[in-house]
Structure 1
Amino acid sequence: MDTKGWKQFQAEFLKEAIQKIRFKKPVHELASILGIKENAMYKKIQLQTQLSLEDLILLSTELQISLDQYLGSKLSPVPFYLDSLRKKPEKFEDYLENLVKHMRLLHEMPDLKYCYIAGEIPLFHLMVFPELFSFKLCVWNMTHWNLPSYSEKVNLDLAAMHTEVHTKLNTCIKIYYGFPGTEIWHSKMFDHLLEQIKYFVLLRKFNSRNEIARLIYVIYQLTDHLELIAARGEKTTEEPGYKVKSPINVYQNEITPISESILIQTKNVDFSFLCFDMPHILRSTDQRFTTQSALSLDTILKFSTLVSKEGQAERKDLFDHIRNKISLSEKEILALRDMKY
């Protein structure tokens, strides 16, 4: 962008920012958001110095300004990739094989760390419990894949019965549990799973009453598992055969709109994964997007509460809330089961 171009862009952007503030001292307010001195902010308003990318993201996030209206027509497209556009899975193993391929690629990257913002329960923690992941496969088959080789009924033993599925699940767990990183959880991340169970009870998709109770029991096990991870500040599992473990920081965020996204940062390249309709996951390595994702995550972390390790009181509050919600849903599910079975 030439000198005339950036000055016009910056003048229009800061004009909207000042209108959003509605304070008598906009220079003071804008400087406070950016963490700079008023003199430095005044130079930016007077177009003597440029706003940085971080400045733009901080102001647009804090003041709810859309950057698209200013930059959209001037930037080249950001490429995203979606594996299911290339090839739809023909069996459950295909979906897991694709995950394994990406996990192995990441496993070879030096100095890897990640941040996972959970919309639902993080996928790789579900994998530790084959019954829950089997249920999810049945849900996705109904909503997306419609693979004729599988029954329309829920099979909670699907992952355990199919050797190839079980092997690929174990591979994903071992690799993911070996990555150090950060996860952002919230009290609503069990809600969608519980609503899916209710709906499948309503449709009589379970083979027996006992399977419904069994699935709820495993959800409580998952809750204990996640709480233990947070308490230790370490991803590990009590299940036999899993030797790996890695440090993890867990935060709670109830303010930011819930979305499923993962930012993976390595020595050579960064990856951004976005879930727009589970199990469909978009990915991009475009530096503009991964840089913006990193800055956005930093902002989200500022409004998040640590619940791992020393965050004992906050952790107890979070999991008390989650267990209470599960208990209420359990009563609804069992009442619905008594009506339908």
Structure 2
Amino acid sequence: MTELQRNFIERLKLSLPPYQNAAQSIAECLQISPNEAYKKLRNQSSVTLQQLVKLADTFKVPIVYQPEQAPTVTFSYPKISGEKSDIAEYLLDLLNNLKLIHASKEKHLTIVTDDIPLFHLFKYPELAAFKLFFWFESLGNQPQKFNRSYIDDDVLRIAQELNRIYLEIPSTEIWAKDSIHGSLEQIRYAFEAGYIADNSLAEDLVMQLRYCLTDMNMYAMSSKKTIDVAHTFNWYNCDVLGTIAYLTEMNGTMTCFNRFNTFNFLKTEDHDYCKQTKAWMQGLMRKSVSFSGQGEKHRNKYIYQAFQECDALIAEIYKN
């Protein structure tokens, strides 16, 4: 129980906001004295299985247990039915995860992806709304028409807060050579299928993709996402990618998010799994072309080709 307890307590402390006293929170939850709670925090006193379950339920921290020598991994994920009302709940879950990373003293986020990371797209209102429309409507049987007011202002504010916080987290992104292709094809499909009836709206979506790529170029040129030198950014391009994954590193612990069902994610804090994922990502970096800093030649070529694809889609929109 000692290793299980130590692992759980560390993750519990990470899940609490900086202003919340861990010992006091545990004492109130388990109805024990603060002194006893401190002993449990220091692993000087055992946490019973019943207490462990109560803490897990209260603070929404999963109990991760792996039988010795058994190659099993426990994942958690946000349950989404596909209803439009789920959008705010989905984004708030993302926001809570991102705030947890942001609040850590030592932090880094590594992303391996074949699509533009959604945190970048959330800067732009129509593009953010379209991405959420495409993802959530893909779960239903009868997609509705897309318009600029698909998401309300409250949901949009959450999306833009996600963008703001992400820009302040040091990160490394490894993109596939055609990462922009997925978003362009989604816009093309929605337009050709009649879900976007307004040509100017379709054009605005493509133009916002261009603006997003311009942002990426600026981040890569300076190797940071804001004027703060601590908000470092490293951008790579890799011809061959496998799993779409996000790996967070916070104060010596790691969490891995694997994407599934187009946009949802499986989350695990299993140490061996995260360690293996990190080694895989580091291997990809060695095989990749760096777009950051001095990688101007390769970066410019990539951006130019992406802009050509955007322009070609705009021409198709008005041709029809």
Q: How high is the TM-score relative to the length of structure 2?
A: 0.72
TM alignment of 1:187-266, pairs within 5 A: 187-236=177-226, 246-254=231-239, 256-266=240-250
> Is residue 2:180 matched to residue 1:185?
no
* Structure 1: runs of 5+ lacking an equivalent: 1-73, 238-242
**1:277 positional shift:** 2.4
| Structure 2 residue aligned with 1:153 | 145
Q: Is the 8 A contact 1:130 1:157 kept in 2?
A: no
Alpha carbons of structure 1 residues 130 and 142: separation in structure 2 relative to 1, 3 Å: same
| Structure 1 residue aligned with 2:57 | none
CA RMSD after TM alignment: 2.6
Q: Is the 8 A contact 2:207 2:310 kept in 1?
A: no
Partner Cα separation in structure 2 for residue 145 and residue 100 of structure 1: 24
Identity of aligned residues (%): 22
Q: Is the 8 A contact 1:109 1:267 kept in 2?
A: yes
**1:245 positional shift:** 7.4
Partner Cα separation in structure 1 for residue 250 and residue 176 of structure 2: 26
Secondary structure of 1:82's counterpart equals: coil
Partner Cα separation in structure 1 for residue 84 and residue 150 of structure 2: 16
CA deviations 1:154-187 (Å, max 9, x no partner) are 123445xx23112212321222111112111233
> Is residue 2:256 matched to residue 1:272?
yes
**1:328 positional shift:** 2.8
Q: Which shifted more, 175-184 or 101-110?
A: 101-110
Counterpart selection for 2:134 from 132, 136, 139: 139
Secondary structure of 1:81's counterpart equals: coil
Partner Cα separation in structure 1 for residue 257 and residue 249 of structure 2: 11
Q: Which entry has the higher C-alpha Rg, 1 or 2?
A: 1
Secondary structure of 1:84's counterpart equals: coil
Q: Is the 8 A contact 2:191 2:197 kept in 1?
A: no
Alpha carbons of structure 1 residues 330 and 245: separation in structure 2 relative to 1, 3 Å: farther
Partner Cα separation in structure 2 for residue 79 and residue 333 of structure 1: 45
Partner Cα separation in structure 2 for residue 207 and residue 328 of structure 1: 19
Alpha carbons of structure 1 residues 315 and 87: separation in structure 2 relative to 1, 3 Å: closer
Counterpart selection for 2:115 from 112, 116, 120: 120
TM alignment of 1:243-322, pairs within 5 A: 246-254=231-239, 256-322=240-306
Runs of 4+ residues over 6 Å off in structure 1:
85-89
Question: Size of the alignment, in residue pairs?
Answer: 253
Q: Is the 8 A contact 2:176 2:238 kept in 1?
A: yes
Q: Is the 8 A contact 2:106 2:250 kept in 1?
A: yes
Q: Is the 8 A contact 1:197 1:333 kept in 2?
A: no
Q: How high is the TM-score relative to the length of structure 1?
A: 0.68
Partner Cα separation in structure 1 for residue 242 and residue 130 of structure 2: 22
> Is residue 2:90 matched to residue 1:100?
no
* Structure 2: runs of 5+ lacking an equivalent: 1-68
Secondary structure of 1:300's counterpart equals: helix
**1:192 positional shift:** 1.2
Secondary structure of 1:234's counterpart equals: coil
Q: Is the 8 A contact 2:128 2:159 kept in 1?
A: no
**1:88 positional shift:** 7.0
**1:145 positional shift:** 5.5
Letter in 2 for 1:168: I
Q: Is the 8 A contact 2:133 2:150 kept in 1?
A: no
Q: Is the 8 A contact 2:176 2:241 kept in 1?
A: no
